[in-house]
Amino acid sequence: DTPIPGAGTYASQHIGASATGTGEYVIRSLSCRQISDNVASGMTIGEAVDAVLAQLGRDYDGDIGLIAIDANGVPYANHRTRDMPHAYFSGDGEVVAKMRVLAKKY
């Protein structure tokens, strides 16, 4: 994990994001900052996270997971790992816990 601002964790007026996995790749790509830049340019939070993961897949073959929330409180998570359990709670609903297990790499 990489708790370096812009890389492994980042917050802006557009998003809050965190990354886990192969830290060297997260640092080199500034993945969480890139999610923010993508949302600022008009992508949804899901599109932004998926675009960063796709680029990481082209540039590196590392195990990386990303979780983010947009300014409206919409959460999104995706990963290039076998699994990545995660959960969220909006404050006015149920706790949502998810785990998607991939048969092969993203």
More confident residue, 26 or 15: 15
What does the pLDDT read at residue 86?
80
Is the pTM higher than 0.75?
A: yes
Residue 37 buriedness (CB in 10 A; 0-12 / 13-18 / 19+)? middle
Residue 80 CA to residue 102 CA, distance in Å, equals 8
Residue 56 CA to residue 62 CA, distance in Å, equals 8
In order of their start, the domains of the chain are: 9-98 (3.60.20.30)
How do residues 47-100 score in pLDDT, each as one tens digit? 999 999 999 999 998 889 999 999 999 999 999 888 888 887 777 777 777 776
Least confident of 16-25, 27-36, 77-86: 77-86
Secondary structure class of 36 (helix, strand, coil): helix
